[in-house]
Amino acid sequence: MSRLYDTVEPSVIDEEMLQAAVEEQGPKDEAGKIAKMEGIDFVEVTSLRLDFKNILKIDNLWEFTSLVKLQLDNNIIEKIEGLDLLVNIVWLDLSFNNIEAIQGLDKLTKLEDLTLYNNRISCVENMDLLVNLHIFSVGNNNLKELEKDLGYLRRFKKLKTLNMSGNQFEEMELYKMKVIAYLPNLEFLDYRLIDEQSRNAAYEKYQLGMEERLDNDRKDEARMQRQQRESKELELHKAAYVEHLNDSSLFDSMYAEDSEGQKLNTMPQVKEMVDDFEKKFNAVCVEIFKYGLKENDKRKEEVSSFWECVEEAKSENKTTGMKMIDTFMDEKKKVFEQILHLSETTLESVLNVYQQKISDLWDNLMGLELQLVDQLEEVIKDFERNMQDLVSSFIENVQGYLTQCRDLENLHHESMMEMAIITLEKVIKNEVDEKEVPEDIRILFVDKDTINNAVTSSHDVHLLKIDNKEDDIVTRVNQWLKNMIEKIHEEEEIRRNRMRVAEINHLIDHLREEIDLLDLGAGAGGQY
């Protein structure tokens, strides 16, 4: 079924193949010569054809990040891979290959047109994130379970054109009707327009089943939306370092690994005491949760304000630099116009003055960049101080809330110890009904030391859980601040400064090269 090249050695996608393909598909004639001489940056290429190249493996395409259209048909590719960085692809053709499974497409969320015609695919799957899919061709493959594949394709609300012909579906006489019924938004099937008569016939035949499916789809959609909302909320709570503090998670975790505490909670007259403890404990956790969200908003506002300030400073600096360059370019134009008509003696003097102006431009631009560096350094220092104050205040208050949790645990521990001693005395005197203290709990009430150890052990587990929560919050918020400041210093500011200095030097080098070339061809009344 798939296209095979048994007699030809497989090819590798290497620099030479890519360069040849880009040049072949690039501009022609004089424009093509210039492009070839200057070199074509793969990052700027938007369309690439690699068909009929006998390619076995997709590789070495990571530089083509601007690709919109990629053609890899009529090769011997066995696996979809190596496309994760090509996030701008809209049109992808992998037809006439040896692909056995749909995979490796998760990052291509802009994909609208996908062609997998004539491969060895046995199941439509792993395309959940292709929400913009408009055209899909998977004909001439090894698909067998039509209803399963159609059920999967129902999630693609934008799918208008589908080709599934040439597969081994059972009951092929019902194939067209099933596809139309399952995918009501479809407009073209196997390259033919779906007419109203066919649509009505399909609906009539599968009406009852489709109504049930529509109901299931609505339930699935509602469940998916709920999961997305919950996931989004959880991410927000994690960013505020207070996830699961708006429920009983911390309280429940204290007893999850506390077998002694679970037993002690079955003592007579303890339930009401535990319920009161839980209510008060969870109320403090909710306070931490509310406070954490509020403080997270403050931090986000401070970060946003910082970047606005940085961008404003950079914009003002850039505007000033562009004015300097524009002024210089006006002077350059005048100088170059004068040079054509100057004598050799006068020419040398003018060129010397012009060279000095180039040096002055470098001094001014570098001085402007140093000024921006100093300005941003002050802004970053202020921001760092403000953020450190916010984080320190957040940590201090969270620790205060968690101290309240410890106080509640200490009070509860004292009450449990008192209740345990009372129960012990009753057990020793046989004043407790066996139903009130089952046999597996009675082993704790052998003597005072045993019950004391059990209550203390439970208390230690609870305090450890509270301590771990505090350590987790403090560690994460401090690490976040550290990472952010380091990124601002190293990745943002240092990288920006290096790029700007390189740009300035490149400009100055270019201006000086122009003069060098001009000097070589210049003379009294000469041309350049």
**pLDDT tens digits for range 321-369:** 999 999 999 988 888 888 777 777 787 788 888 889 999 999 999 999 9
Percent of residues, the chain, with pLDDT higher than 90: 58
Nearest CA-CA partner of 156 in 178, 177, 184? 184
Dump pLDDT digits (tens) for 136-194.
999 999 999 898 899 899 889 999 999 999 998 866 678 888 899 889 899 999 989 99
Confidence of residue 492 (pLDDT cuts 50, 70, 90): confident
Dump pLDDT digits (tens) for 287-314.
999 999 999 999 999 999 999 999 999 9
Whether residue 234 has pLDDT greater than 90: yes
In sequence order, the 6+-apart residues with CB closer than 8 A to the CB of 266 are 437, 438, 441
| C-alpha count within 13 angstroms, C-beta hemisphere, residue 345 | 0
Helix, strand, coil percent content, the chain, rounded in steps of 5: 65, 5, 30
Confidence of residue 493 (pLDDT cuts 50, 70, 90): confident
In sequence order, the 6+-apart residues with CB closer than 8 A to the CB of 423 are 267, 268, 432, 437, 445, 451
Nearest CA-CA partner of 327 in 357, 288, 371, 286? 357
What was the pLDDT predicted at 434? 66
What was the pLDDT predicted at 441? 75
Structure-block tokens of residue 518: 């001009």
Q: Which CATH number fits domain 11-205: 3.30.390.10, 3.40.190.10, 3.80.10.10, 1.20.1050.10?
A: 3.80.10.10
Structure-block tokens of residue 521: 């061809």
**Do residues 67 and 47 lie in contact, with contact meaning Cβ atoms separated by under 8 Å?**
yes
**Do residues 19 and 42 lie in contact, with contact meaning Cβ atoms separated by under 8 Å?**
no
**Do residues 128 and 150 lie in contact, with contact meaning Cβ atoms separated by under 8 Å?**
no
Confirm whether pTM is higher than 0.75.
Answer: no
Dump pLDDT digits (tens) for 68-100.
999 999 999 999 999 999 999 999 999 999 999
CA dist 393 and 388 (Å) reads 8
DSSP type of residue 114? E
Residue found by looking up tokens 């109901």 in the block: 215
pLDDT, averaged across the chain: 87
| Ranges for all domains in the chain classified under CATH 3.80.10.10 | 11-205
Average pLDDT over every residue of 396-412 = 97
Confidence of residue 435 (pLDDT cuts 50, 70, 90): low
What was the pLDDT predicted at 525? 39
Nearest CA-CA partner of 126 in 80, 92, 67, 94? 80
What was the pLDDT predicted at 27? 54
Average pLDDT over every residue of 1-15 = 64
Residue type, 109: T
What was the pLDDT predicted at 514? 81
Three-class DSSP category at 342? coil
Average pLDDT over every residue of 191-215 = 81
Dump pLDDT digits (tens) for 465-491.
999 999 999 999 999 999 999 988 887
